[in-house]
Amino acid sequence: MNRRYGLITLVAVITILMVLVTASSLPGYIRESGNLYKPFEYAQMYLEDDPYSELIIEYDYVPGFEPSHRAMESLGEVVYAYTDKTSVIARVDDQIAFRDTKPIYTEDDIFELVDTYKSYQRGGNTMVLYVLYLDGAWKDENVLGLSFGGDRIIIFMNTIINVARRSQNLNPQDIESSVLIHEFGHLLSLVGRGYHSDHEDPDYEHHCDESAGPCVMAADIEIRMGRYSEPPPTDFCVLCQDDLEKIRHMEDDPGVEELITAVAVISIVVIGISWIVVLKPKKKDKEEEYLLYNEQYSNDMNK
C-alpha cells in the first residue's frame, strides 16, 4: 500500500513539473521557431532593455557602396536617444561577393542574400539589427530603402547616390542617414503598424503626414521621385515620439502559441490524473465497505 502512495506522489510531482516546464517554455519556443512575433513586439525588443540590453548592428555591403561613418553614427545616436539600450555596437561585417550582386533585386534575391551573409543572431542579452547595403536598385527603382522581417533593413546605396547627384548641394550621406533612420523607424512599428495612429499619411500607409513638422518618417524620405533642395530630416517628429511611448506599452493578444500550450498543459494534466486513478489503492475501499457493513449489521442487531 505504501508503495502505491509513493507512486501516486511521484506521478503527481512529475505531472506538476511537466505542466510548469511546458507552460513556461513552450510559448517562447513556438514563437521563436515559427517567427510569430508581431511588428510591435520586435519594436519592443529594440525599445526596451529587458531582455536585450545590448544591440549589435551588423552591416554587410557590396564593395564600393559601404555604409558611411556619419550614417552609422546617426543611427547609433537615435538608438541611444529613443531606446533603453545601454550598449550599441556597429559591426561592419561581410562584403557581398560580386557573383551575388544584381542590377535589379527582387524579394527572393534579398532573402537569399540575408540567408547567406547574416552572421549575428539575437540571444542572451543581445538584440541584432541587420543592415544590407546594395549596389543595384529595388524592382521599383524609386525606393531608397526597405525594412522587413522585424529586424532587417536594405539600403539601395546606388539609388541614393543617383538621387544626390540630381539634388543641389547635397552629398549621398545627407540622404543615406535619413533613409537608414527611416527604416529603423519602421522596425520600431512607425507609423501605425499594428496600432492606430492619427497622424498616418492617408496616401502612404505607415508613414507620417508631418502635421507636426518635418519628420524622418515621411514617405518621401524612402520613395524619392524628384530631387531634394535641402537635407531631409533625421529625427522623429513629436507625434512619432508619442507613438513610440504608445508602442512600448502595447500588449499581445493570445495567439496560436498560447492555444497549443493550453492543449499541451490540459493533456498532461488529464494523463497525470488518469495515472493517479489507475494507481489508487483499491484495498482501502474494501476495508471501508467492510466497516460500513459491520456498522450496518450491528445497527440491525440493535434494533
Cβ 152 to Zn ion, closest distance in Å? 14
Cβ 206 to Zn ion, closest distance in Å? 6
Residue 154 in the binding site for Zn ion (CB under 5 A): no
Contact by Cβ (8 Å): 136, 104 = yes
**Phi-psi bin for 169: left (phi > 0), alpha (psi -120 to 50), beta?**
left
Show contacts with Zn ion in window 156-215 (CB under 5 A): 208, 215
* Residue (174 or 210) nearer to Zn ion, CB: 210
Cβ 91 to Zn ion, closest distance in Å? 25
* Residue (58 or 235) nearer to Zn ion, CB: 235
User: What is the enclosing helix (H) or strand (E) of 54?
Assistant: strand 54-61
Backbone angles phi, psi at 231, to 5 degrees: -60, 135
Cβ 238 to Zn ion, closest distance in Å? 8
Q: Which 8-state DSSP code applies to residue 87?
A: E
Stretch that binds Zn ion, among 66-74, 216-224, 227-235, 288-296 (CB under 5 A): 216-224
Cβ 159 to Zn ion, closest distance in Å? 14
User: What does the alpha-carbon distance between residue 165 and residue 172 come to, in Å, rounded to a whole number?
Assistant: 8
Residue 222 in the binding site for Zn ion (CB under 5 A): yes
Cβ 154 to Zn ion, closest distance in Å? 12
Backbone angles phi, psi at 59, to 5 degrees: -110, 120
* Residue (105 or 117) nearer to Zn ion, CB: 105
User: What does the alpha-carbon distance between residue 2 and residue 283 come to, in Å, rounded to a whole number?
Assistant: 12
Show contacts with Zn ion in window 8-67 (CB under 5 A): none
Q: Which 8-state DSSP code applies to residue 212?
A: T
Helices (H) then strands (E): counts for the chain: 10, 7
Contact by Cβ (8 Å): 97, 113 = no
* Residue (154 or 208) nearer to Zn ion, CB: 208
* Residue (160 or 217) nearer to Zn ion, CB: 217
Q: Which 8-state DSSP code applies to residue 196?
A: -
Block residue for cell numbers 499541451? 264
Backbone angles phi, psi at 90, to 5 degrees: -90, 125
* Residue (178 or 261) nearer to Zn ion, CB: 178
Total residues interacting with Zn ion, rule: CB under 5 A? 6
Cβ 190 to Zn ion, closest distance in Å? 7
Show contacts with Zn ion in window 226-265 (CB under 5 A): 237, 240
Binding site for Zn ion (CB under 5 A): 208, 215, 217, 222, 237, 240
